[in-house]
Amino acid sequence: MRSQPSASHQPFVILAAVLAGVAYTLSPLTVVCLIWMAGLFRWTARDIDGRERHWLLAALGAALALRMMAIGVLPFLVDPQRQSYTSYFGDAQYAIQRSIWIRNIFLGIPVGSRDYIEAFEPQFGWSAYNYVLAFLHVLFGRSPYGVAVFSAALFLTAASLLYRCCRRAFGPLAAFAGLAGVLFMPSVFAWSVVPLKEAMQFLLLTTAVVASVGVVQGRWPVKVSSVAALAFAIAMSGTLRSGAAAIAAAGAGAGAVLWATTRRTALVAVTFVLVACGVAVGARTVYVQKALAAGVRDAAIRHLGHARSPGAYYRLVDDKYYAGVSTDPVDGPPFALTPGEGTRFLIRSVVMFFAQPLPWAADSMKWLALIPQQVLWYGAVLLAIAGGIRGMWRQPLLASVLAGMIAAGVVVVAPNSGNIGTLIRHRDMIVPFVLVLAGFGGVTVAGRFVALPARPRPEKVVASWR
């Protein structure tokens, strides 16, 4: 027979029930997401004991609490004379409004003709995530702050999946260091508390990473499910933003090729010779030359579009192209770069992908506030290089997939950027993978200076944290 709560505990039980009822009345979606988080934390900490479990749950709990506080203050920032809700970014507020319009149209609630057009506008701001938010509004009612909690839940789910994958490969300490970086990196934190597509994109890319590892290491049922998960992640990424599917597919493919070709020294040599021959032949092929020139030209045009948009920008092409050179073929001769200009453009784009915003070029308080994060970012990149090199020796499969995902992000994002704020937002798609490699790199570097205990066998990982 189930025991009844004692008389001394009954007031607390009643109070908890009342608070839960009030919270569900105010935001049902928030309560559902919190229940989801409770189950997620329990799953993440399964088969983990001792100090590792305490630190893990403390980090996840702190990450959730900080996000809930950040979202919880939003209702107090609203100007009731101008708006009924708010968010930290204008794009996020527009995404909420757009999803509510879609929800109203689905339910037959009249909307203005302009709102109807903007709800389904196929270019600016279009994303399948708008329809996900609209579906949540249909299920739980209008939830301008609940969808922000949903975004935080997606982010923490992705972080937990990545932690579990890295823990098996890199060990508990390195995985926890990477998880801490992912949970508390300032810009990544900011994207996780707004209903933008960044959290969903992080979850899909993480799914691609975990699935790529499962295809190789898992048993046949795991291999089949991993292939399905990888295909789903690539397909859904393509519905979120332009280039996202390319990052997921190219990242998984590049990781697989890197892992396969580095398993034997002979394979490395053969691959190097084949790549060198392919580059030499391609450089002499007219079709390849034209295709490469067209791709570089299109990327440069997009860069100039970003550079000419409002906000801070940085330069990648030669200075003469910023002096009013038209990229519209109707206004003048076709825009083109010489081979030397194209090469300089590509090299600068990779360098600036990692370097921007330059701390010594900050000219406003907004950019000065980013200097601490930028210093952390520089340190993370250096540690990630160490972690990637060490990972290719210790756990080449996961290290290869993470490196492939980072390289794919650089190839897609770097030459197509120019606005600093947009670069930070797009770069943060692959920042979590840099951070988990940095966690392994940090533990590797620390092991050179501090007498760390030897890594235990997998069956004794728990004991090492007690």
Domain termination residue (choose one: 209, 237, 265): 237
**Mean pLDDT of all residues in 356-363:** 83
Cβ contact 416:251 at 8 Å: no
Task: With cut-offs at 50, 70 and 90, classify the pLDDT of residue 90.
Answer: confident
279 and 199 housed in the same domain? no
209 and 324 housed in the same domain? no
**Six token digits for residue 111:** 């909307």
Residue with tokens 């922000």: 148
Strand partners, 419: 313
H helix and E strand count, the chain? 21, 0
DSSP label of 314? -
420 and 319 housed in the same domain? yes
At 412-428, the pLDDT tens digits run: 999 999 899 889 999 99
Average pLDDT over the chain reads: 85
Residue 19's pLDDT is 60
Cβ contact 208:236 at 8 Å: no
Q: Which residue has the higher pLDDT, 15 or 347?
A: 347
Least Cα distance to 187 among 17, 404, 425 occurs for 425
141 and 259 housed in the same domain? no
Residue with tokens 């970012």: 377
Assigned domain for 368 exists: yes
Alpha-carbon distance of 149 to 166, in angstroms, equals 26
Cβ contact 184:228 at 8 Å: no
Alpha-carbon distance of 260 to 262, in angstroms, equals 6
Task: With cut-offs at 50, 70 and 90, classify the pLDDT of residue 461.
Answer: very low
**Mean pLDDT of all residues in 57-64:** 96
Residue 454's pLDDT is 54
Domain termination residue (choose one: 173, 203, 237): 237
Assigned domain for 433 exists: yes
Alpha-carbon distance of 374 to 367, in angstroms, equals 10
378 and 460 housed in the same domain? yes
Cβ contact 107:138 at 8 Å: yes
133 and 225 housed in the same domain? yes
162 and 264 housed in the same domain? no
**Residue 460 above 50 pLDDT?**
no
Assigned domain for 271 exists: yes
Residue 126's pLDDT is 74
426 and 313 housed in the same domain? yes
Least Cα distance to 356 among 324, 311, 400, 398 occurs for 311
Assigned domain for 3 exists: no
| Residue 224 phi, psi (nearest 5) | -65, -45
Task: With cut-offs at 50, 70 and 90, classify the pLDDT of residue 7.
Answer: low
DSSP label of 387? H
Cβ contact 180:436 at 8 Å: no
35 and 160 housed in the same domain? yes
As a 3-state breakdown, the chain gives helix, strand, coil percent values, each rounded to 5, of: 75, 0, 25
121 and 159 housed in the same domain? yes
**Residue 226 above 70 pLDDT?**
yes
Residue 23's pLDDT is 58
**Mean pLDDT of all residues in 397-411:** 95
Residue 189's pLDDT is 95
- Least confident segment among 111-125, 187-201, 245-259, 362-376: 111-125
Q: Where are the alpha helices (DSSP H) in 141-197?
A: 146-170, 172-184, 186-192
Cβ contact 151:34 at 8 Å: no
* Integer CA distances (angstroms), 21 to 14, 18, 25, 37, in order: 11, 5, 6, 18
**Mean pLDDT of all residues in 187-191:** 94
**Mean pLDDT of all residues in 169-176:** 93
At 125-138, the pLDDT tens digits run: 678 899 999 999 99
315 and 434 housed in the same domain? yes
Q: Which residue has the higher pLDDT, 272 or 370?
A: 370
**Six token digits for residue 312:** 């801070």
Assigned domain for 244 exists: no
User: 3-class SS at 168?
Assistant: helix
Share of the chain above pLDDT 70, in %: 87
Residue 276's pLDDT is 74
**Residue 401 above 50 pLDDT?**
yes
Q: Total domain count for the chain?
A: 2
Residue 328's pLDDT is 64
Residue 332's pLDDT is 58
**Residue 14 above 80 pLDDT?**
no
Cβ contact 136:147 at 8 Å: yes
Which residues have a Cβ under 8 Å from the Cβ of 91 and sit 6 or more positions away?
125, 196
Which residues have a Cβ under 8 Å from the Cβ of 129 and sit 6 or more positions away?
95, 195, 196, 197, 200, 240
Cβ contact 156:62 at 8 Å: no
**Mean pLDDT of all residues in 8-33:** 68
Assigned domain for 18 exists: no
**Six token digits for residue 132:** 């996900």
296 and 210 housed in the same domain? no
Residue 272's pLDDT is 73
**Six token digits for residue 331:** 């206004």
Assigned domain for 141 exists: yes
Assigned domain for 246 exists: no
Q: Which residue has the higher pLDDT, 5 or 233?
A: 233
Q: Is the peptide bond before 357 cis (omega within 30 degrees of 0)?
A: yes
Domain termination residue (choose one: 237, 264, 295): 237
At 308-329, the pLDDT tens digits run: 887 788 989 888 888 766 666 5
Domain coverage including residue 437: 254-464
User: 3-class SS at 333?
Assistant: coil
Q: Where are the alpha helices (DSSP H) in 309-395?
A: 339-355, 365-368, 371-394
